[in-house]
């Protein structure tokens, strides 16, 4: 490790880390927020399931670098605007989470939902008070996959000049220096572990009713 490089670039590295966090978190949160109603819809109307899951699957097919470059042409943003990265990642997250939400809701025991219906819960109340809480473990397990993938995908944007931890890779490559690259990789992995554990902890907090043995599942990265 080249400590001189490291110490002289500390504030830049911090800047990149913060940018990386925003570029990862905003799409993850927005993607999840959009996936909840869409996933519920796909679950309620079985005929839509194939359409919604299939269409979102097609978005997943498009390689991320190509997606970053193509978006401006479709939505009229500037080609190097970070907003392209945010939108592309939001779509990826949405594509992954729609299916997870629909499948998670489908896994809620039918008797539980019927009991709520028989007790007089309205459709929206059933969703927010019964189905969603019970589906939390499945949904958050999916979100852990999404967030960890997003952290890695964001780095690709360095190629088109969007500043985040990936910029350390391009910087290191052009300088022929290993230190920035390794620093970038380590920080990416660190963020991944921290966010993964945060969601895991959230999942356990939201589901105190699950048996401890089930809740003590390992992190995605463990």
Partner 1 sequence: MSGLIEFFADPGNWSGSTGIPVRIGYHLLYSLIALGLALVIAVPLGIYVGHTGRGEAVVAGMANALRALPTLGLLIVVVMLAAPLFSSSLVFTAPAILVLVLLAIPSILTGTYTGIQTADRSAVDAATGLGYTPMQVLTRVQLPCALPLMISGVRGAMLQIVSTATVAAYVSLNGLGRYIIDGRANNDFGQMAAGAALVAVVALVLELAFLLAGRLTISPGLRRSERRVKVPASAAPAT
**Positions that interact with partner 1 (CB under 8 A):** 57-58, 60-70, 73, 79, 92, 96, 103, 141-142, 145, 148-149, 151-153, 155-156, 158-161, 165-166, 168-170, 172-173, 176, 178, 181-182, 184-185, 188-189, 192-193, 220-222
Contact 199, 144 (CB under 8 A): yes
Backbone angles phi, psi at 121, to 5 degrees: -70, 135
Measured from the CB of residue 39, what is the shortest distance to partner 1 in angstroms? 15
Tell me whether residue 41 or residue 59 sits nearer to partner 1 (CB atom). Answer: 59
Kindly report the number of other CB atoms within 10 A of residue 111's CB atom: 9
Angle at 123 between CA 119 and CA 128, to 5 degrees: 95
Contact 157, 68 (CB under 8 A): yes
Distance CA 209, CA 142 (A): 20
Measured from the CB of residue 156, what is the shortest distance to partner 1 in angstroms? 6
Tell me whether residue 33 or residue 194 sits nearer to partner 1 (CB atom). Answer: 194
Measured from the CB of residue 62, what is the shortest distance to partner 1 in angstroms? 5
Distance CA 74, CA 99 (A): 25
Measured from the CB of residue 35, what is the shortest distance to partner 1 in angstroms? 14
Tell me whether residue 86 or residue 116 sits nearer to partner 1 (CB atom). Answer: 86
């Amino acid at each position: 490790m080249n400590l001189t490089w490291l110490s002289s670039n500390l504030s830049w590295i911090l800047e990149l880390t913060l940018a990386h966090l925003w570029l990862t978190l905003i799409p993850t949160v927005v993607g999840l927020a959009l996936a909840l109603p869409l996933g519920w819809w796909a679950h309620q109307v079985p005929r839509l399931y194939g359409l919604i899951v299939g269409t979102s699957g097609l978005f997943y097919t498009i390689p991320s670098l190509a997606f970053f470059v193509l978006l401006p042409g479709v939505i009229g943003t500037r080609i190097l605007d970070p907003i392209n990265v945010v939108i592309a990642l939001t779509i990826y997250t949405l594509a992954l989470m729609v299916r997870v939400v629909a499948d998670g809701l489908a896994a809620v025991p039918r008797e539980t939902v019927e009991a709520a219906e028989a007790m007089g819960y309205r459709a929206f109340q059933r969703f927010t008070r019964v189905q969603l809480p019970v589906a939390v473990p499945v949904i958050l397990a999916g979100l852990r996959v999404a967030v960890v993938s997003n952290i890695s995908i964001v780095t690709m944007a360095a190629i088109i000049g969007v500043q985040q931890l990936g910029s350390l890779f391009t910087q290191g490559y052009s300088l022929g220096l290993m230190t920035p690259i390794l620093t970038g990789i380590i920080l990416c992995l660190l963020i991944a572990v921290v966010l993964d554990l945060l969601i895991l902890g959230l999942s356990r907090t939201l589901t105190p009713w699950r048996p401890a043995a089930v809740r003590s599942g390992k992190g995605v990265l463990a």
